[in-house]
Amino acid sequence: MWTVLKFDKKNLALLKEDLTEKLGKELKIYIPKLRIQKFKNNKLINKEFNLLGDYLFCFHKSLECKKTINSLRFTRGLKYFLEGFVESQKDIEKFIGKCKELESEDGFLSKNFFDLEINKKYRFSSGPFTDKIFQIINLQRNRIQILMGNIKTTIKKKEFLFTPA
């Protein structure tokens, strides 16, 4: 059963080690990650971060049992288990499946992760317009028509990385 837990970023290695020690080798931990390339002082910088901040997915058969979860509550590096994971198994599995489907070979999510919607606002994460907010006017197969302030322009989907604003 998949569970969602909040962890202390400084003690992630301790958490993984303790969970493996307590639950066994069948433990699966999944943390979806994004890699963003930014220009800073005319240099290209790769920045990696967790998509869910300080949350991760953990899978083990014995996590269905309340006793197991209660015994793990005071594990080093663990802040808490997110409630409601039992009822949300289908949604969690669907989300993890989508993430794994859109991962590249090096384990990072691709640019196609976010579903684009017309008239929604997004923020550029790469390119010359980094941190600028824009609105999508029209979606085509490989191009997006955007409105940035009073300027209308068309960009290629693959050239820029952006996130919902």
Domains and CATH numbers, the chain: 2-111 (3.30.70.940), 114-164 (2.30.30)
Q: Rounded to an integer, what distance in angstroms lies between the CA atom of residue 88 and that of residue 54? A: 19
Residue 37 has pLDDT above 80, yes or no: no
Please determine, for residue 48, whether its predicted confidence score (pLDDT) is greater than 90: no
pLDDT, one tens digit per residue, over 128-154 is 788 889 999 998 888 889 999 899 999
In this prediction, residue 113 carries a pLDDT of: 67
What is the model's pLDDT at position 142? 84
- Would the CA dihedral through 103, 114, 141, 158 be positive or negative? negative
Eight-state DSSP code of residue 18: H
What Rg value do the Cα atoms of the chain yield, rounded?
Answer: 19
Instruction: State residue 131's pLDDT score.
Output: 82
pLDDT digit string, tens, across residues 55-79: 999 999 998 888 998 999 999 999 9
Average pLDDT of every residue of the chain: 87
Query: pTM of the prediction?
Result: 0.73
Per-residue model confidence (pLDDT) at position 47: 81
